[in-house]
A = this chain, B = another copy of it.
Amino acid sequence: MPKDELPILVDLHKNVYFDDEEGEAVILDRRKLPLDTTHYRCKTYQEVAEAIEKMVTQSLGVSPAAGYGVVTAAYQAQEKNKSEKKKQIRKAVKRIKNTRPTQTSLHYLMDEMLETAEEKIGKDENLFKAMRKKAYDWTKNLMKVSRKLGKHTSKIIDDGDTILTHCYGGPAIYFMGDYARRDGKEVNYYCTETRPYLQGARLTSFALSQGGFDVTLITDGMPAYCMSEGLISKFITGADRISMDGGVANKIGTCQIA
C-alpha cells in the first residue's frame, strides 16, 4: 500500500461509489474479506437494497450504499419525464428504508435525498448529478466525523498501549491509532474474532494490519485471560445504537469484556 493511502476498508469512498461508465453502484463485498477484495455491482436500486439486506456491507458502509442506491435509481430514470422521475425516487427511497427499519441515519439521508430530488426535478436540473453529489458528500462527512472521533480518542492513548477491540468499530478505530502514532506514541492492537460474523477477524484486524499496526487476533474466549496477564491496557468497542437518553445497545460480547 502506498504511503499515506488508507486501508481499503477505512476509506469509505472505496467501500461504495458509483461507476459512471457502467451505470452501476459498486459496493466492497465485506463478506469476502480479508481473502478476497472484490466489489459487488448493482444496476438497479432493488439490487442495492438486496445487497444491504444480504450484508454485502455493514457498519458505516450501509448508509453510503443506501445513498448510492438512490443514485442508481436517478441514473435509471434519466430519460424519463418529471412525474416518472419522482415516482422512481420515491419507490427507491421507500424500498431502501425498508432494509434497515431502525437505522435512523439512513432514514435521515433518504428523506434528505428525496427532498433534494423533488426540488431538482421541479427546477428541471440534473437529478442524477445532484443525487451523486448528495451520496458523495454524505460519505465525505462520515469520513470527517470518523477522523474527528479518532483524533479525539487518540488523546487518551498512552505510549505503548495495547488496545483490545471487539467487533468492527468503523474507520475511527484506525484513525485513533493513526493519530496516536503521528503523536509519537506506539500503539498495538488485540482484536477479538467476534462471532458469529467474525467482523473482528475479517474486518478490524484486516484494516489495522493493512494500516501497518501490530495486530494480534484472539478468540472471543480469550479477553479475560489476556487482561489477567496484563497484555491489554485499553478496550474499545462499537455501539450498535445510542439512544437520546444515553442508553447504549452494544454488540454481544461487550458485557463480559467490560
Closest 3 A/B residue pairs (Cβ): A221-B253, A224-B256, A220-B220
A224 to B228, alpha carbons, bound, how many Å? 17
A252 touches B (CB below 8 Å): yes
Q: Which of A166, A256, A257 has the most CB of B within 10 A?
A: A256
Interface residue tally on A, bucketed by range: 20 to 34
Residues from chain B with Cβ under 8 Å of A220 in the complex: 195, 219-221, 253
A228 to B225, alpha carbons, bound, how many Å? 20
**Min CB gap A222→B, angstroms:** 6
Residues from chain B with Cβ under 8 Å of A193 in the complex: 195
A192 touches B (CB below 8 Å): yes
- Can you spell out 19 A-B residue pairs with CB atoms less than 8 angstroms apart? A192-B221, A194-B221, A195-B195, A195-B219, A196-B219, A219-B220, A220-B220, A221-B251, A221-B252, A221-B256, A222-B253, A223-B256, A224-B255, A225-B252, A225-B253, A225-B255, A225-B256, A228-B255, A256-B256
Residues from chain B with Cβ under 8 Å of A194 in the complex: 221
A190 to B165, alpha carbons, bound, how many Å? 26
Copies in the complex: 2
A195 to B225, alpha carbons, bound, how many Å? 14
Within 8 A of B (CB), among A181-200: 192-196
Residues from chain B with Cβ under 8 Å of A166 in the complex: 221
CB nearest neighbor in B for A253: B221
A253 to B257, alpha carbons, bound, how many Å? 12
A251 to B255, alpha carbons, bound, how many Å? 21
A192 to B252, alpha carbons, bound, how many Å? 13
A136 to B110, alpha carbons, bound, how many Å? 69
CB nearest neighbor in B for A192: B221
